[in-house]
Amino acid sequence: MSLCTTAQVKAQLGIPDADAEHDAVIGRMVAGVSAAMAGRQGSCRPVEEAARVQYYDVPTSRERSLYLRVWPIVSIGEILEATLGDYSGGTALTVDEDYWAIAERGELLRVGYWLRGRRTVRATYTAGWVPVNLSEADGFSLGSGQVLMPGDIVAVAIVQCVHEFQRRAVPGVSGEGVAGGNVSYAKTVPKLLDGVKETMANYKRVV
């Protein structure tokens, strides 16, 4: 997972692109910061585009909305309803006939009501924003349903990585050998800056 790139962090630090001395430690910081931003300190959910499978318990017979853990929805592979989780004999639902997929908030809105019971719905889908390393690649173009990673997420990821890099000499945080060799980045789950937390809170699920 990377919510920004090593090149973006280096540019913010004023490190020439050709200078690879710190690339290893910055790469580790990007991974740690990205994980923290999608974790309990941040959005509490994955944000990068990926294929996912999700199961639902439907507590009442009058439930119309189910919410995917990750959004925006890029595509729906399959929505199945099944009694007692028997998906081999389940009913495949058709989008815009049996339910509507509201991409921007990850909502599955049923025509009528969802089947009540434990694990009665299985959703196979692709959702999340296009990862930065992919969208920055030469020749990349958005596919159907794809949405770029929001700029404010990328911006605060860079800010947090710069902060981590600048404090890397603090004991117990990280260490670098000669010319960036023997890199250790001990603090793999950094404490997020307040501004980073505030930004990521905007991307938590609120129903």
> DSSP letters along 64-108, please?
-EEE-SS-SEEEEEEEEE-GGG-GGG-EE--BTTTEEEEGGGTEE
pLDDT (0 to 100) of residue 181: 42
Model confidence at 114: pLDDT above 80: yes
Helix or strand holding residue 109 (H, E): strand 107-110
Report DSSP letters for 126-147, one per residue. Answer: EESBBPHHHHTSTT----TT--
Report the predicted TM-score, pTM, of the whole model to 2 decimal places: 0.88
In the prediction, which pLDDT does 176 show?
52
Strand partners, 78: 124
pLDDT of 203 > 80? The answer is yes
pLDDT at 170: 64
pLDDT digits (tens, 9 = 90+) for 54-89: 999 999 999 999 999 999 999 999 999 999 889 999
C-alpha–C-alpha distance, residues 38 and 200, integer Å = 8
**What is the C-alpha separation between 34 and 75, in angstroms, rounded?**
24
Residues whose CB falls within 8 Å of the CB of residue 58, separated by 6 or more in sequence, listed in order: 66, 114, 115, 116, 117, 120, 121
Percent of the chain whose pLDDT exceeds 90: 86
Compare 191 and 174 and report the one with higher pLDDT: 191
Rounded-to-integer distance, Cα 207 and Cα 18, Å: 47
Domain residue spans in the chain? 6-45+131-201, 50-127
Over residues 42-58, the pLDDT tens digits come to 999 999 999 999 999 99
Residue 32, φ and ψ in degrees, nearest 5: -65, -45
Q: Please check the confidence at residue 118 and state whether its pLDDT lies above 70.
A: yes
Q: Which amino acid, one-letter code, is at 204?
A: K
